[in-house]
């Protein structure tokens, strides 16, 4: 199992400096409709200046919009030294319709994700796979630039690139190493320097290789989850896993762990993507005590996220996690508490979950789920304290499957 745990150090975000280009000119970049009001402004973290992909708000321009209809051009690509086995549409169906359903559920219906396959067959690249020099962590230049240019040239007769918000490249699984050995899947997001097709740069492109099949027999049900992770980058979300794997956030966000049982996004990410109303987000910025009611994050409606500003760069965030919807593996329901730091870059731990049951070993038995943090939510009666910033968070009450009441006190 140690080997499988190592596998959860997964896909990699490569973001170039945020530019203004995007895959299609008719969409608006960033989270359209991000709930903001004067009451929420103390909790509005600005993005760090030297950060490639920030947790700050609003998401810089150049990424795909994350509400309304998103048209995802999806191409299945093969090579002479790795010819597609089976039909290209079979490869497509490893990811769909699950990916669009995942986004519909996670966004409470606010993201209407439309995968489109104008070329339903394998698109053969002019060079063998080996010639592109694609390996884990490969930079955009020269390998990926060449690959994107070749994809554009091969697809252009049948594709109007202006019609799409992002590009999915589903590579034939026999190209490159097994995902058990090396995960090559990668996204180039907000890349205004990308090759241009039909007058628009291919700024947001996700590449999926191999199969994230851990041999547990769950691939058909959960193997698609690499794609919502990669597409999360095209919406501007950073990686939450670090060199130590999922130890910072565990299985509480698909940007942390995308192998194994289904999981949702953190409430912070849902707010950042424009999927929560202002009335669903609380900001405890003033001195004194204030109470909030939270409903399970997976379900639509009700209070979802309480933020407690710590300093100008970070906030505490609270949400109620319970099993249901995309959160299929939650084994200890309760109030998840985490810190968001907008100055920490992708893959370096911009978000840290606090473990309400430390050194317990966790409650999950699922493979590819960071076990220790699986029971991280704080239970009724538990208190989180930050004496330095004079912040106290109490979980007052809660019912199974129902709402929880929390109290924030600032000294």
CB of 10 to Zn ion, least distance (A): 7
CB of 26 to Zn ion, least distance (A): 27
Is the CB of 150 or the CB of 239 nearer to Zn ion?
239
Are the CB atoms for 315 and 351 separated by under 8 Å? no
Is the CB of 8 or the CB of 343 nearer to Zn ion?
8
CB of 13 to Zn ion, least distance (A): 4
Which residues ranging from 233 to 262 are in contact with Zn ion (CB under 5 A)? 239
CB of 12 to Zn ion, least distance (A): 6
CB of 6 to Zn ion, least distance (A): 16
Q: Report the alpha-carbon angle 57-50-318, nearest 5.
A: 35
Q: Rounded to the nearest 5°, which phi and psi values hold at 384? A: -110, 130
Does 345 bind Zn ion (CB under 5 A)? Our answer is: no
Name the burial class of residue 288, with classes exposed (0-12), middle (13-18) and buried (19+) by CB atoms within 10 angstroms of its CB: exposed
Number of residues that bind Zn ion (CB under 5 A): 3
Does 11 bind Zn ion (CB under 5 A)? Our answer is: yes
Does 329 bind Zn ion (CB under 5 A)? Our answer is: no
Is the CB of 238 or the CB of 334 nearer to Zn ion?
238
Q: Is 225 helix (H, G, I), strand (E, B) or coil?
A: helix
CB of 167 to Zn ion, least distance (A): 16
Window contacting Zn ion (CB under 5 A); options: 6-14, 139-147, 324-332, 395-403 = 6-14
**Cα torsion angle, 263, 269, 273, 275, sign:** positive
49: CB partners within 8 A, 6+ apart: none
Instruction: Residue 337: name the closest of 323, 359, 356 by CA.
Output: 356
Window contacting Zn ion (CB under 5 A); options: 8-16, 141-149, 151-159, 382-390 = 8-16
Separation of alpha carbons 103 and 113, rounded Å = 7
Does 13 bind Zn ion (CB under 5 A)? Our answer is: yes
- 103, 303, 318, 409 from 29: Cα distances, Å: 18, 27, 27, 37
Positions that interact with Zn ion (CB under 5 A): 11, 13, 239
């Amino acid at each position: 199992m140690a080997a499988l745990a190592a596998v959860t150090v997964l896909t990699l975000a490569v973001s170039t400096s945020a530019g203004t280009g995007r895959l299609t000119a008719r969409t608006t970049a960033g989270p359209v409709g991000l709930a903001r009001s004067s009451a929420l402004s103390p909790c509005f973290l600005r993005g760090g200046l030297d950060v490639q992909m920030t947790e700050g708000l609003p998401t810089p321009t150049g990424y795909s919009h994350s509400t309304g209809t998103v048209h995802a051009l999806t191409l299945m690509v093969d090579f002479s030294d790795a010819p597609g086995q089976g039909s290209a549409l079979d490869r497509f169906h490893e990811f769909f319709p699950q990916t669009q359903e995942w986004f519909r559920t996670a966004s409470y219906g606010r993201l209407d994700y439309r995968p489109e396959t104008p070329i339903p067959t394998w698109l053969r690249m002019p060079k063998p796979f080996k010639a592109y020099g694609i390996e884990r962590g490969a930079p955009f230049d020269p390998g990926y630039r060449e690959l994107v240019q070749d994809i554009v040239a091969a697809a252009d007769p049948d594709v109007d690139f202006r019609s799409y918000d992002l590009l999915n490249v589903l590579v034939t699984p026999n190209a490159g190493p097994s995902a058990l050995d090396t995960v090559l899947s990668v996204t180039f997001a907000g890349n205004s320097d990308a090759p241009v097709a039909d007058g628009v740069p291919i700024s947001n492109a996700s590449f999926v290789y191999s199969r994230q099949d851990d041999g547990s027999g769950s691939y058909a049900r959960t193997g698609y989850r690499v794609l919502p992770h990669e597409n999360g980058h095209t919406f501007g979300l950073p990686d939450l896993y670090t060199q130590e794997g999922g130890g910072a956030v565990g299985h509480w966000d698909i940007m942390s762990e995308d192998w194994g049982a289904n999981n949702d996004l953190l409430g912070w990410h849902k707010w950042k993507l424009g999927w929560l109303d202002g009335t669903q987000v609380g900001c405890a910025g003033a001195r004194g005590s204030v109470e909030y009611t939270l409903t399970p994050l997976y379900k639509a409606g009700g209070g979802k996220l309480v933020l407690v500003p710590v300093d100008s760069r970070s906030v505490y965030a609270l949400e109620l996690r319970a099993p249901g919807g995309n959160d299929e593996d939650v084994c200890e329901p309760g109030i998840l508490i985490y810190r968001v730091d907008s100055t920490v870059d992708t893959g370096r731990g911009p978000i840290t979950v606090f473990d309400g049951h430390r050194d317990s070993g966790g409650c999950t038995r699922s493979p590819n789920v960071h076990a220790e943090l699986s029971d991280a939510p704080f239970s009724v009666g538990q208190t989180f304290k930050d004496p330095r910033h004079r912040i106290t968070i109490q979980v007052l009450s809660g019912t199974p499957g129902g709402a929880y009441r929390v109290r924030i006190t600032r000294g």
